[in-house]
Amino acid sequence: MNFFKNIVLTGCLLLALPACPIAAESPAATQPVVSGNAPLQEEMLSVTAGQLAEEEHLLAVLWVQRSAEFRGLCYQAYNLATMEVDKAVAKRKQKAKAAKNPESKKQSLLSERSQKRKNASQLTGERNVSASADSLRPLAVVLDIDDTIVCHALLQGHYITHPGSRSNSDAWTQWIQQMTPETLLPGAHDFLQHAQAHDVKIFYVTGRGPQDREATLAFLQKAGLPLADDAHLLMNDKSGSKMNHFNKIARRYDVICYLGDNAADFPINAKREENPVVYKKDIAKENKPDSNAQQIASADVKPNGQSQRIASAGTNAKQNLPPDVSGIKTKQNLPLDIPAMLQHDKNKKRNAIIDANKKSFGTKFILLPNPMYGDWEYNLAKGFRRLPAEQRIALRKAVLKSFAMKENTK
């Protein structure tokens, strides 16, 4: 009888206890010693650093998945791109009409050369575009894919609910193979169909590695997007930049506009500091620099290709994993020299590049919103994505700005 009384009393005591978080038994939950003004929140004591690092993306992912404002910005971007296509097509028709009149043709060529010189001076990164190029080159638009055409909010949601899933490429590989047309960003499909209807060439220039070619093509075709073939799909060329592709396209086509969610998606030399794709020897051989030039030169040819995703940078993905997600124990009381780490911060330089090209945004350059991830965060420190979660969190808080609230003297 006393046995049952003890059970009842113990249950009552447990119910009476206030709800409180239970600290995870993980070395990563230990608060590191931070040098610099970057205090870590108390919540870090009740969850692993890896979980907290993912939780910090929660609001951004929910905004993309649920907000009407995100949809509106996507429509706005593609509406701007549609307007640019319509203007370029109308101008092309005027040129064709003027070509029938010798005097009008001469005046049109002079005006065209003057405009191209002006455009070349604005697009500082587009170096190889000749001001005297043939004014009747085929029209084209250039687009990034990830979070420009297709939305990855579902994948980012998976990373939040499964913090350890970034430790390998399994989630990414399954995601790009299972994506459906419903993941297209609002306005993307209509714009691409509109461009094709006006005989505008479309180039998909992506940062994905060549291993992803097969899955990427399969999705573009399944989504019913135009010109979804090897000739119009240009993959990461190992340089960490898209400038090689941009220059090759601009030599053969009159590019109306570029669309992307990253400064590196535009021909302004905003080179990525760290190429996110791992290249093996056999893959590098398949992705020779001349291969993409041949694709552009023969835009109607459809060579075959195969691909597979390797998501993290470095020569060995497992060796570069943050300890909190790879199962490797971290050191206790990890010292952080935040000022030294922030010396690698490249965002000031990237912001200056954007400012120098401010007149082209909204016309030549169409930028789509993506608060979930990007080089704006990766550039905080060298090898940011490979840092332990505690260091990533501390760096984020170290660069956070706020206003100085005056104390109430009354």
- Whole-number pLDDT of residue 126: 45
Percent of the chain residues topping a pLDDT of 90: 45
C-alpha span between 71 and 77 (Å, rounded): 10
> Do the domain assignments include residue 248?
yes
Please state, in angstroms and rounded to a whole number, the distance separating the CA atoms of residues 81 and 13: 64
Q: Note the residue count of the chain.
A: 410
pLDDT band at 141 (very low <50, low <70, confident <90, very high): very high
Query: Does 238 have pLDDT greater than 70?
Result: yes
Please give the pLDDT value at position 115: 64
Alpha carbons 48 and 29: distance in angstroms, whole number: 5
In the structure, what pLDDT confidence band is assigned to residue 116 with cuts at 50, 70 and 90? low
Give the mean model confidence (pLDDT) for residues 339-363: 91
Between residues 1 and 274, the one the model is more confident about: 274
pLDDT for 215 equals 97
Q: In the chain, helix, strand, coil percent, each to 5? A: 50, 5, 40
How many independent structural domains does the chain possess?
A: 1
Residue 15 has pLDDT above 60, yes or no: no
Mean pLDDT is lowest, of 59-73, 203-217, 230-244, 305-319, for 305-319
**Residue 299 pLDDT more than 60?**
no
Q: Provide the pLDDT confidence category of residue 131 given band limits of 50, 70 and 90.
A: very low
Residue 331 has pLDDT above 70, yes or no: no
Whether 93 is in a domain gets the answer yes
Res. 20: pLDDT tops 90: no
**pLDDT reading at 354 higher than 60:** yes
- Confidence class for position 355, pLDDT limits 50, 70, 90: very high
Domain assignment present for 167: yes
Pairing of strands 336-337, 34-35: parallel
Segment 242-256 shows an average pLDDT of 96
* pLDDT for position 31: 39
Whether 23 has a pLDDT exceeding 70, the answer reads no
Angstrom distance (rounded) from CA 156 to CA 176: 13
Looking at the domain assignment, is residue 62 inside a domain?
yes
pLDDT of residue 316: 35
Residues contacting 386, CB < 8 A, separation 6+: 312, 313, 314, 320, 321, 322
Residue 378's SS3 state is helix
Whether 86 is covered by a domain: the verdict is yes
- pLDDT, mean of residues 347-372: 96
CA atoms within 13 A on the CB side of 298: 8
Q: What is the mean pLDDT of the chain?
A: 76
Beta bridge partners, 234, equal 205
Residue 316 falls within a domain, yes or no? no
Cα Rg of the chain (Å, integer): 26
279 has pLDDT over 50: no
CATH number of the domain enclosing 206: 3.40.50.1000
More confident residue, 11 or 400: 400
Letter for the amino acid at 241? Answer: S
Of the ranges 7-21, 144-158, 241-255, which one carries the lowest mean pLDDT score? 7-21
Reported as a pLDDT band with limits 50, 70 and 90, residue 192 is very high
Residue 5 lies in a domain: no
pLDDT surpasses 60 at 303: no
Helices (H) and strands (E) in the chain, counts: 17, 7
More confident residue, 33 or 369: 369
Rounded CA separation 409/391 (Å): 37
Any domain includes 11: no
pLDDT at 10 over 80: no
For residue 78, what are the domain limits?
Answer: 56-311+349-371
Residue 165: what pLDDT?
85
Residues 332 and 27: beta-carbon distance below 8 Å: yes
pLDDT of residue 86: 98
Statement: residue 245 has pLDDT above 60: yes
Structure tokens at 79: 């509406």
Give how far the C-alpha of residue 164 lies from the chain's centroid of Cα atoms, to the nearest Å: 21
- Confidence band for 168, pLDDT divided at 50, 70 and 90: confident
In this prediction, what percent of the chain has a pLDDT beyond 70? 64
